[in-house]
A and B are shown apart, each in its own frame.
Chain A
Amino acid sequence: MPAPLISPAEKSYIEQGIQQDCRADGRGRLEYRHVVMESGLLSQASGSARCRLGDSDVLVGVKVEIGEVEPNKPNQGRVVCNVECSPSASQQFEGRGADEMNNTLTLAIDRLLNGPQSGLDLEKLCIIPGQQCWVIYIDAMVMDAAGNLLDCVVMTTRAALYNTRIPKTEIQDLGDGDFEFEVVDDVEDAEPIQGWENLPISVTLYKIADRYIIDPTILEELCSTVTLTVGVNKDGLVCGIQKGASGSIDPSLLTEMIQTATTLAKPLIEQLDAKLLEEDNKVQEKRRRGEHVEKLGFFASVI
């Protein structure tokens, strides 16, 4: 990927193009790049997905583990997020260069997913109230950074959580208020995460000059003075807003941007859901016939 530098001439070219609703790669202001998404490609993980958004490439693995409940939420499970930018994704991520980006992204998806706005039924993750619960560890790996990383990470995480299966547990009453549970060892006999369909995706709007665009490339990101990330769920409801970068947004523009984000998100979620379901059905159909299921895995980048 190119170094994160931009010349005044390039900047002016991009800005003027955006004014004309015509971007360097030929897209309009509110158009996405090509999306390739596949779920369930890591056999060891409880759930996984990989997504390429243009040249940005993110792999998310979800692992469910047994943990102690938090004392102030005795009947809820937890979600723990971690985003890591691979040094291979960009020169700027070498050494400790990725730390800031990792923190920013981790914090952003944590805000979006940890809380009632995520739509996940955290109480369903509790195994024995006051004692043990499932903890969902989300590990996102940025393998190629070509702009719009946050949206890409959120989208992939959503697909990975859709793909996640939590082993079933059987709780036994030992008397005296003591409980013990056993885990069903069959991987097939597992449950999806309750409420995954309510998970929001994020739409980040980048303000360039006095217009805004979505899904920028690296160079376009460098032209942007301010960003606005809006978390939207399938019902078009806003689940979170976060402003980034140093610039400012006029209140009237802010309303318009939020409005735009919600209208853009709804069809995108529908499309993604349809894709995931289709993929899942294909897999199930093959399984029903007893055929072997092969995943595309890392060939996805070739397509």
Chain B
Amino acid sequence: MLRSKSFVKRTRKGNVVKVVKEHYLRDDIPCSSPICKSCTHTPVLSEEPKATSGFPSHYIIPDTNVFISQLDIMEHPAIKDVIVLQTVREEVRHLSLPVYNRLNAILADKTKRFYLFANEHQRDTFIEKLKDETPNDRNDRAIRVAAKWYKDHLKANGSGKEIEIVLLTDDRGNREKASATGIKSSGVPEYVESIKDVPELLDMVSAPKAASEEKTVYEEHLTPAQIKNGIKKGTLIQSSFNVSQHNVHEATVVGEVEGEMKTIYILGRKNFNRCIQGDIVAVELLPKSQWKRSASVAIEDEDDEKLYGEEEVEDLKDDPMTDEEAEPTGKVVGIIRKKWRPYCGFIVKNTAPSQGESKGPTNVIFRAIDRRIPPIKIRTAQASTLLGNRIVVAIDSWPVNSGIPLGHFVKVLGSSGDRETETEVLLLEHDVPYQEFSKRVLEDLPVEGDQWIVLDKHLNDENRRDFRDLNVCSIDPPGCTDIDDALHVRTLPNGNYEIGVHIADVTYFVKYGMPMDTEAAARGTSVYLVDKRIDMLPSLLGTNLCSLRSNVDRLAFSCIWEMNEDAEIVNVSFTKSVIRSKFSFTYEEAQTRIDDERMQDDVTKGIRVLNKFAKILRQRRMDAGALTLSSPEVRFRLENDSQDPVDVEMKGLKETNALVEEFMLLANISVAKTIYSKFPSSAMLRKHAPPPTNNFDQLRKTLAEKGFTLETDSSKALADSLDKAVLPDDPYFNNLVRIMTTRCMMQAQYFCSGTEAESDFLHYGLASPIYTHFTSPIRRYAACIESDLAYGHELTDMTKMKELCDNLNFRNRMAQQASRSSVELFTGIYFRNKTEVEEGRVLRVLKNGIIVLVPKYGVESIVYTTSKGSASSPFVYDDDDKSLTAGDIKLKTFDSVKVQISVEGDELGMRQTMKMQLVEPFVEGVSVSVKKRAIEEVEDDSKSKKSKQ
């Protein structure tokens, strides 16, 4: 039977077309219930579905809104035997693509027993739209018709067994109509309540839309058409919304102001207008009279009253000044794309009812770990049990009349403070895929497992060169298990040197397009945490078959240069190869060999040659303007059993680090050139854009006061001025300047060569016109791609490559942040029950505080200069030279201070924060004296012990 469906749609050009689709009906679509003997099928549903207190054994048919607003419940393992109607799935697809994808994931999960019933194509359940019937009514009717059909079908063919059909819908009208035709129906909350054995489901019911008579707190958003038009005309700015880490009431977007790309500030929740960190928003500029003139203020935790009272959304107003250098401010008028995700966090203690009080569900406030996320109101019956745990919460809505968004509970991660839980939290928060590799992925591993060896066929099949007789060795940090590069050097008969960089040939095991490759592409990179590593590839490959360990044959991809005495490249070639590494050195061992005069064997000599060449190459790069930047990185020494940090050390650099790095850079540049010449439009390269000069404004100003000029016209000029910024009596000063310069830099990014102009390929930091990541294929997916490209396979087209690059950039950024958070976490654990006084340096002066970096631990934090408990401060802020003065004490950037570091769990919940307080210079009302603090510590301890009891 043939029917047609038609609808009107507007094309991109603005024209209107009527689309007519053919629609076929069939009579052989099965019901998928095992009790039915008349359909020919392999049943998905269970023979004896679950019964609840309200309903006998039954199948569930949910309507569209159940999936849209209660998806977390549908994903819960307790919900099984569900019939998903095609009508419902289609509606979901139109309403929300992410929900649609998650629904498909549930359908694919065999254990969930969700059956997709193609009711629109089944002859008996297809209905024509009635005249004057809205599409929604038609679909609701289609759902009821399908439910009715199921009920009758199971009765007629059920061979005596009885299985009910329960229509799940929150629409009361729909329920009434359903019961009129004899179908059982239920709302989600009532249904969930009837499942007595899984009480937490009730908490996962999403919050209903708030009643509308309450007064509105926020402005209504503009309509999508108005936003589109505004952006087209340039009256609105589209950008992603970024909340400041130091002040949750200050956010920035980047947009064009008076013809220039500028940072636009958005101040106060009212102007945020219900958007959340990461959302793509439309911003309207405020008139110039309201532009921002004062320095950024650090706001610790917001005043509780203001925050949870819901009535007030504070307006931050600046004193009008006639200063010309005001920075633009704006307000959000609409959200173009929401980036809401489930958030990890905790329930604020004083909003939860104390134990023993009412058992019923109560409203509590949830705060995310990410402080940039506003508090979320959730309703839960298990508030008292959830206290002290890390939980996940999803936002449902943020109506105009609610000061904070409404959400619902998703799951418990574990108790807070626990290292495992906290690590999981930080992985979740950075969207790092940390699950075990799936069976499908593991099936791609070679069947021989760790018995796999290099055979002659490997040599012959792929034209591999046999380098097993060469003196190849690797140099890595101690304890490194994923060795992905090795080096060799030998003298050629003509007096030149042959230098080879050998990279693990991951692509032999991970062929483009197979599940393991797809998984690796999705993970993008390995993530290094303080106590563990989240691998991109299964460990059999990463730490064994692809790891270039010593004295075993391994497949490699080699980049071979011929260089003359002055380290000039005469010739370069790439080849697949087989190598047998002779030594796996640590940096230290290699260094000892170089320094030890007595060692005169070939390998040691080779390292010396490499070292000599590396120095020449490095000098050449420096002359071209490569930057030496710095970041305050530390390494923890972990206690073996508990994995708790016992000591912290600064990461030191040895000459041999630089040696390896230099040749890797060279290999990367050589590969970049080659693949770009081979595939001008679909090569994957890496660029580092020059930072905009105004990024340096603040640093330039502060340096000028110290008598240094900061030239930022080119990377060479910058490198030179950094070299000059040395204070003889302050050895750390130069390092500090470099740290601050690093923060002015842009992020380096992967990109597809066809999408950018050649002049934009520049890698600013390395001062190389072209660059890519070819090395480290075990931990970088980009390097896997490069190997394939360098070998001459064109993998994919420009658009796909661009998507891939975007994902890799995202994963890289997340991996970096995750590592950083992991360090923060361990720093927190290290300082637990510890108070230390350390020397710190002022990085930045704010109106009400200073940001201090403590080099010894690589930590930085705000030190408030306001007195405890009041807003007044003995310090006076001077905007001209960015300083704080109290009496004869003046705090400025770069100043040395002494601070006391401790870790504080805040009163409200479980957020562990590092706290720094000023010790020296001593200012009454602000600084703490060390002794007094120690007493408080004891009191705090005893308090916390009491509360535990």
Interface residue? B10 (CB, 8 A): yes
Which residues of A are found within 8 Å of B15, using beta-carbon distances?
Answer: 65-66
Which of B6, B9, B134 is within 8 Å of A43, CB to CB?
B6
The range of chain B's interface size is: 20 to 34
User: CB-defined interface of A2-30 with B at 8 Å, one 1/0 digit per residue?
Assistant: 00000000000000000000000000000
Q: Which residue of A lies closest to B19 (CB)?
A: A44
Report the Cα distance A65→B16, complex, angstroms.
Answer: 6
Contact across chains for B226 and A172 when beta carbons are under 8 A apart: yes
Query: Nearest chain A CB to B21's CB is how many angstroms away?
Result: 10
Interface residue? A73 (CB, 8 A): no
- For window 176-196 of A, CB contacts with B under 8 Å fall at 178, 180, 182-188, 190
- For window 33-48 of A, CB contacts with B under 8 Å fall at 43-46
Interface residue? A95 (CB, 8 A): no
Which of A183, A284, A290 is within 8 Å of B10, CB to CB?
A183
User: CB-defined interface of B1-28 with A at 8 Å, one 1/0 digit per residue?
Assistant: 0011011111000111010100000000
- For window 251-295 of A, CB contacts with B under 8 Å fall at 284, 287-288, 290-292
- For window 210-259 of B, CB contacts with A under 8 Å fall at 223, 225-226, 228-230, 233
Which of B9, B16, B131 is within 8 Å of A66, CB to CB?
B16
Contact across chains for B7 and A186 when beta carbons are under 8 A apart: yes
Choose among B3, B8, B128 the residue with the greatest number of A CB atoms under 10 Å from its CB.
Answer: B8
Query: Nearest chain A CB to B42's CB is how many angstroms away?
Result: 32
Interface residue? B135 (CB, 8 A): yes
Interface residue? A167 (CB, 8 A): yes
Which residues of B are found within 8 Å of A46, using beta-carbon distances?
Answer: 18
Interface residue? A64 (CB, 8 A): yes
Report the Cα distance A202→B358, complex, angstroms.
Answer: 83
Interface residue? A175 (CB, 8 A): yes
Which residues of A are found within 8 Å of B18, using beta-carbon distances?
Answer: 44-46, 167, 187
Which residues of B are found within 8 Å of A245, using beta-carbon distances?
Answer: none
Which residues of A are found within 8 Å of B229, using beta-carbon distances?
Answer: 174, 178, 180
Contact across chains for B131 and A284 when beta carbons are under 8 A apart: yes
Contact across chains for A185 and B8 when beta carbons are under 8 A apart: yes
Interface residue? B130 (CB, 8 A): yes
Interface residue? B127 (CB, 8 A): yes
- For window 1-60 of B, CB contacts with A under 8 Å fall at 3-4, 6-10, 14-16, 18, 20
Which residues of A are found within 8 Å of B132, using beta-carbon distances?
Answer: 188
Query: Nearest chain B CB to A135's CB is how many angstroms away?
Result: 10
Choose among A45, A46, A292 the residue with the greatest number of B CB atoms under 10 Å from its CB.
Answer: A292
Interface residue? B129 (CB, 8 A): yes
Contact across chains for A290 and B7 when beta carbons are under 8 A apart: no
Q: Which residue of B lies closest to A45 (CB)?
A: B18
Q: Which residue of B lies closest to A181 (CB)?
A: B225
Contact across chains for B131 and A188 when beta carbons are under 8 A apart: yes
Which residues of B are found within 8 Å of A288, using beta-carbon distances?
Answer: 130-131
Q: Which residue of B lies closest to A288 (CB)?
A: B131
Which residues of B are found within 8 Å of A65, using beta-carbon distances?
Answer: 15-16
Which residues of B are found within 8 Å of A64, using beta-carbon distances?
Answer: 16
Contact across chains for B230 and A174 when beta carbons are under 8 A apart: yes
Which residues of B are found within 8 Å of A45, using beta-carbon distances?
Answer: 18
Q: Which residue of B lies closest to A42 (CB)?
A: B20
Report the Cα distance A23→B233, complex, angstroms.
Answer: 70
Report the Cα distance A292→B230, complex, angstroms.
Answer: 45
Report the Cα distance A291→B132, complex, angstroms.
Answer: 14
How many contacts between A and B, using CB within 8 angstroms?
A: 67
Report the Cα distance A281→B229, complex, angstroms.
Answer: 43
Q: Quick one: given A174-B229, A180-B225, A187-B18, are A292 and B128 in contact (CB under 8 Å)?
A: yes
Query: Nearest chain B CB to A280's CB is how many angstroms away?
Result: 11
Report the Cα distance A187→B6, complex, angstroms.
Answer: 7
Contact across chains for B130 and A167 when beta carbons are under 8 A apart: no
Query: Nearest chain A CB to B284's CB is how many angstroms away?
Result: 11
Contact across chains for B225 and A292 when beta carbons are under 8 A apart: no
Which residues of B are found within 8 Å of A185, using beta-carbon distances?
Answer: 7-9
Query: Nearest chain A CB to B125's CB is how many angstroms away?
Result: 12
Which residues of A are found within 8 Å of B133, using beta-carbon distances?
Answer: 188
Which residues of A are found within 8 Å of B10, using beta-carbon distances?
Answer: 182-183
Query: Nearest chain B CB to A182's CB is how many angstroms away?
Result: 7
Contact across chains for B228 and A180 when beta carbons are under 8 A apart: yes
User: CB-defined interface of A65-81 with B at 8 Å, one 1/0 digit per residue?
Assistant: 11000000000000000
Report the Cα distance A43→B22, complex, angstroms.
Answer: 11
Contact across chains for A187 and B226 when beta carbons are under 8 A apart: no
Contact across chains for B135 and A186 when beta carbons are under 8 A apart: yes
Q: Quick one: given A172-B223, A287-B128, are A186 and B8 in contact (CB under 8 Å)?
A: yes
User: CB-defined interface of B108-142 with A at 8 Å, one 1/0 digit per residue?
Assistant: 00000000000000000001111111110000000
Which of B3, B8, B20, B129 is within 8 Å of A183, CB to CB?
B8
Q: Which residue of A lies closest to B227 (CB)?
A: A174
Which residues of A are found within 8 Å of B128, using beta-carbon distances?
Answer: 287, 290-292
Report the Cα distance A188→B6, complex, angstroms.
Answer: 9
Report the Cα distance A180→B132, complex, angstroms.
Answer: 26
Contact across chains for B129 and A188 when beta carbons are under 8 A apart: yes
Report the Cα distance A291→B7, complex, angstroms.
Answer: 19
Which residues of B are found within 8 Å of A186, using beta-carbon distances?
Answer: 7-8, 134-135
Query: Nearest chain A CB to B334's CB is how many angstroms away?
Result: 12
Contact across chains for A66 and B14 when beta carbons are under 8 A apart: yes
Query: Nearest chain B CB to A95's CB is how many angstroms away?
Result: 33
Contact across chains for B16 and A43 when beta carbons are under 8 A apart: no
Chain A positions near chain B (C-beta within 8 angstroms): 43-46, 64-66, 167, 172, 174-175, 178, 180, 182-188, 190, 284, 287-288, 290-292
A-B contacts besides A45-B18, A46-B18, A186-B8, 11 pairs, CB < 8 Å: A44-B20, A64-B16, A174-B230, A178-B229, A182-B10, A186-B135, A187-B6, A188-B129, A190-B8, A290-B128, A292-B128
Chain B positions near chain A (C-beta within 8 angstroms): 3-4, 6-10, 14-16, 18, 20, 127-135, 223, 225-226, 228-230, 233
| Contact sample, A vs B, 17 pairs, CB 8 Å cutoff | A44-B20, A66-B16, A167-B8, A167-B18, A172-B223, A172-B225, A178-B229, A180-B229, A182-B225, A183-B8, A187-B18, A188-B133, A284-B131, A287-B129, A287-B130, A288-B130, A288-B131
4 closest residue pairs by CB, A with B? A180-B225, A287-B131, A174-B229, A167-B8
